[in-house]
Amino acid sequence: MSLISLSPLDLALAAALVLLLALLSWRLRLGVERRMLVAAARSTVQLVLLGLVLKVLFENTHPLLIGLLALVMLSVAGWEVMARQKRRYRGFWGYGIGVLSMFLSSFSITVLALTVIIRVEPWYQPQYLIPLLGMLLGNTMNGIAIALDGLTRQAHDARERIEARLMLGAGWGEAIEEIRRDALRSGLIPIVNAMAAAGIVSLPGMMTGQILAGSPPMEAAKYQLLIMFMISAGTGLGSVAAVWIGSRRLFDERERLRLDRLARARH
């Protein structure tokens, strides 16, 4: 079965549903209609631009162009991680922790999957690399953002307890161990819930897309399993790296708690 193409009118009808929801938000005084419309406009522009860029990359598979697009994706994901923090790290660390953690997790797992599991030749084919990397970055970004937000908020709220443990002779890792564990648990809960509900409560996005494109359902299911396992590993490794780096950053060389390294909470 061939893929059914969508016309601009089809997309306009779907966009009308978002407008209806924004109108309902205004009528109920929820205060989210403006953000909803801005987000819809952003997603439209971003996805159209991405479609145009991928069309060029598919026609001209050049490693430098693909690497540049991957770098842009990583940079934007790092910015989103920082923007979602209620108490963000000051200076470079506010941006660098998320970028470094996602680079160590998402990029390494994507390259591993392309070279060892899927065995694409060449491994940087944009048809495989960009979608896989995008899905890993998006989900890892959410997990890291949740974990870091939980770490900084709980460390600020429990600062007296942490300092008391330090005065009793505990090291920085021991003093913040419980908070670090809770932050990691929070970062992993979304992907655990997604895996548990996949196939029963929800039909995951990649599997849906492949089925709509005409792929056999079993082949779509296998690819979806591959993606979910990769995402869970990327989210876990990225969250562990981010929480470890972030928690270490909360202490100085003499193992004193330094909450002045966090910016004030945004209202």
Whole-angstrom distance, CA of residue 223 vs CA of residue 217: 10
Taking residues 244-260, report their average pLDDT: 89
pLDDT at 182: 93
pLDDT digits 0-9 by tens, 211-227: 777 778 888 888 888 88
Distance CA 212, CA 192 (A): 26
Of these ranges, 54-58, 153-157, 206-210, 261-265, the one predicted with the greatest mean pLDDT is 153-157
Considering the chain, what is the average pLDDT of its residues? 87
Q: How far apart are the C-alpha atoms of 15 and 51, rounded to whole Å?
A: 18
Cβ atoms of 154 and 182 within 8 Å: the answer is yes
Which pLDDT does position 257 carry in this prediction? 87
**Per-residue pLDDT at 181:** 92
Dihedral sign computed on CA atoms, order 97, 98, 99, 105? positive
User: What pLDDT band is residue 267 in, cutting at 50, 70 and 90?
Assistant: very low
Query: Looking at 110-119, 169-178, 201-210, 254-263, which range is the least confident one?
Result: 201-210
Residue 14 has pLDDT above 50, yes or no: yes
